[in-house]
Structure 1
């Protein structure tokens, strides 16, 4: 799939920028958009060293487009989640390169949780996050019940899900939900600089960092120490490790190859 209609995808300098592109609908998610996002992420991870997800227009993503073929009389939401949302969530989680969510505006419902499933979330200060599901009698999905408690703890996650209050980007930053909230005037420059930093870094090490941090939730201490040892041994054999040490000793900037 290369001719996308609901998103755009551009890869330059090792950086893939994927933009949700239904600005007139606040980038609400349709079946087609979910398929295109999944395809774009899977494609980009084989060609780029960092992936950025962001939105065109005033919103990052307003969540599910309720007019997109939803049979309100007899909806099969379990199928939609299994066949369309889960592949997208897993594509982000399993990507071998870092995935940044550059949240340019409101992120609601599944849009919020897709952002929270990324490795790093950078939001503009005018953005907000909203677990809107209970407003229409649903529960958080698209990974929300997994990511939210792990980022802010049970009490904050429960309140966010039950009350469906807006959480400003500044609140999200203070709570540890996201990496950083930055002024609107420097938002684009900030996430681009962060992405460029990762695109020029030790990609193989980043993949292993991602693996160890994400797997820690299912490991006890012994299992995590074993995983650390195994992957650190692998990292120590990489060209990037040798280059990093030599650059440190020679007092110069390293030139990583990503392997």
Structure 2
């Protein structure tokens, strides 16, 4: 197929847009990105380019008429719903209504939102008890990539999209209103599963507004529990979560956002932090590995089990953010696991992101954000040191995407495996940080100094395939999370004898601990300048991230050369 100039118009360079950008490049095309800032700027950038096709993987804004009315250059929307589904709350309604089948549809932008002719569709079976972010980053993202590939192939051969026709029996979707808080409301006397489904359907954004502990909060990150109590009562605290009684059983709530007063802005934080002043008489449960057995159904942000000579430690922190306290708990868990009589220590993520490094929301909420950031970076460094100094052969499993220090945390292991389709962002610069987590040791060790410099300076995402090519990842497993878990455990079990990893085993025995600690010291000296003294505007960038400030312009690193050149000078 001829290489196409494809413009990705998106509200943010989010996980799906990054996957689309990487996938199109892998297929030999030349994607460029335009972030939706304002209508005039977007139109000017796209009209001035020589784009063959515009695809919108994640667009909250309406496509300007100037763009969709051009018959020579279609604008294709990637909508997270089945054919005929319309509206901005597609996934919210699908989870709430417990549909059995769902999908993604690629449709051409027209005046009426989501009503354009169909380019492609891809359906899947809806899993039970899935939260919106997990669904979006998993099955929806996979279906979207399938649709995007199909659209590009069809465009290349002159395909004419099919008009949406509600009289056809296979068009099951319908126009759905935007879901409001009134549609999400529940009573604490409702059953726990119903409440959890309401929270799952609003996961990420906007959360479910409810009364709790005498205040109004948006709820996130719900987990079922069998304990009982007076509905609405907080029964216990464990790690960052609070346990709230429902009509039959109870739920753990991991994150909350206080309802803002007029003129005020609030943001998500660990539930225990938000309710700190109201938990004095609430029992605190011990979540340490030494005092709880492995239970996949229970609320266990850090859990451990052994299979033969492999100890498997899973950590699952909401949105991949790791606060100072979470890092300290993980350090304690790793020390406990390292003392076990095992030969391999497998460290893996859970359902969401593997890790994205320090917890920017907790940092922003601190009395002195710079000092909290400084404590946080030292705590996550301690996690990496536990991996680097383990007696066991350490294997990390990238179950989800990772960014910044989360990538470097994985690289602190001796062997790294990744789930197909994960995206890695091995850089810090866009947040105004030099970086730590022993990256100046682990990244060059994996890819060499030249590639390491390129990765941290270019600030671009890389695919699992690229990571394997460069040596950051040793192998890639199945995309299905459950299948990947089984595959990962088998790979970890075989790693002691597999000849493919002989070099990694030998490298471990020749590790220079003094050199490793010098790397940490040098990194932290730079990070102190960034975090405490704000050398590169980390404070402002952190604030903009936490409060979700819209970007002013598309970064040049995301724009292909053809999209930057004046139209008159472009040649095919």
Normalised by the length of structure 1, the TM-score is 0.71
Alignment of 1:146-225 (within 5 A): 146-185=441-480, 186-198=483-495, 209=506, 211-215=508-512
Aligned to 2:422: 127
Aligned to 1:225: none
* Residues 1:67 and 2:67 are matched in the alignment: no
**Counterpart Cα distance in 1 of 2:329 and 2:513:** 30
Aligned to 1:235: none
Q: Segments of 4+ in structure 1 off by > 4 A?
A: 70-74, 198-201, 205-208
Q: Would you say the 8 A contact 1:98–1:206 is kept in 2?
A: no
Q: Would you say the 8 A contact 1:131–1:160 is kept in 2?
A: yes
Alignment of 1:97-116 (within 5 A): 97-116=392-411
**Counterpart Cα distance in 2 of 1:132 and 1:52:** 24
Question: Can you give the 5+ residue segments of structure 1 that lack an aligned partner in the other structure?
Answer: 219-259
Q: Would you say the 8 A contact 1:11–1:44 is kept in 2?
A: no
Q: CA RMSD in A?
A: 2.9
Q: Would you say the 8 A contact 2:363–2:370 is kept in 1?
A: no
Q: Would you say the 8 A contact 1:50–1:99 is kept in 2?
A: yes
Q: Would you say the 8 A contact 1:100–1:195 is kept in 2?
A: yes
Report how far residue 199 of structure 1 moved: 7.2
Report how far residue 198 of structure 1 moved: 4.6
- Higher share of residues assigned strand: 2
Q: Choose from 28, 34, 37 the match for 2:327.
A: 34
**Counterpart Cα distance in 2 of 1:30 and 1:132:** 19
- Higher share of residues assigned helix: 1
Q: Would you say the 8 A contact 1:134–1:162 is kept in 2?
A: yes
Tell me the SS of whatever aligns to 1:95: coil
Q: Could you report, residue by residue, the CA deviation over 1:120-172 in whole angstroms, capped at 9, with x for unpaired residues?
A: 10001211221242111112211112211222122221221122211111001
* Residues 1:58 and 2:352 are matched in the alignment: yes
Q: Choose from 30, 55, 80 the match for 2:376.
A: 80
Larger Rg: 2
**Counterpart Cα distance in 1 of 2:392 and 2:362:** 31
Q: Choose from 20, 35, 53 the match for 2:315.
A: 20
- Mean CA deviation greater in 150-159 or 168-177: 150-159
**Counterpart Cα distance in 2 of 1:42 and 1:195:** 19
Q: Structure 2 vs 1, CA of residues 194 and 208 (structure 1 numbering), >3 Å: closer, same or farther? A: closer
- Mean CA deviation greater in 73-82 or 155-164: 73-82
Q: Structure 2 vs 1, CA of residues 115 and 79 (structure 1 numbering), >3 Å: closer, same or farther? A: same
Q: Which has the higher contact order (CA 8 A, sep 6+)?
A: 1
Aligned residues: 212
**Counterpart Cα distance in 2 of 1:18 and 1:56:** 10
Q: Structure 2 vs 1, CA of residues 199 and 174 (structure 1 numbering), >3 Å: closer, same or farther? A: closer
- Mean CA deviation greater in 115-124 or 52-61: 52-61
Aligned to 1:46: 339
* Residues 1:8 and 2:330 are matched in the alignment: no
**Counterpart Cα distance in 2 of 1:97 and 1:14:** 10
Q: Would you say the 8 A contact 1:28–1:61 is kept in 2?
A: yes
Report how far residue 74 of structure 1 moved: 5.1
Normalised by the length of structure 2, the TM-score is 0.34
Q: Would you say the 8 A contact 1:103–1:124 is kept in 2?
A: yes
Q: Would you say the 8 A contact 1:41–1:51 is kept in 2?
A: no
Question: Can you give the 5+ residue segments of structure 2 that lack an aligned partner in the other structure?
Answer: 1-287, 293-299, 516-572
Q: Structure 2 vs 1, CA of residues 123 and 142 (structure 1 numbering), >3 Å: closer, same or farther? A: same
- Mean CA deviation greater in 176-185 or 36-45: 176-185
Report how far residue 98 of structure 1 moved: 0.9
Q: Structure 2 vs 1, CA of residues 18 and 58 (structure 1 numbering), >3 Å: closer, same or farther? A: same
Report how far residue 89 of structure 1 moved: 1.5
Report how far residue 69 of structure 1 moved: 3.7
Q: Structure 2 vs 1, CA of residues 123 and 135 (structure 1 numbering), >3 Å: closer, same or farther? A: same
Tell me the SS of whatever aligns to 2:320: coil
Report how far residue 209 of structure 1 moved: 3.5
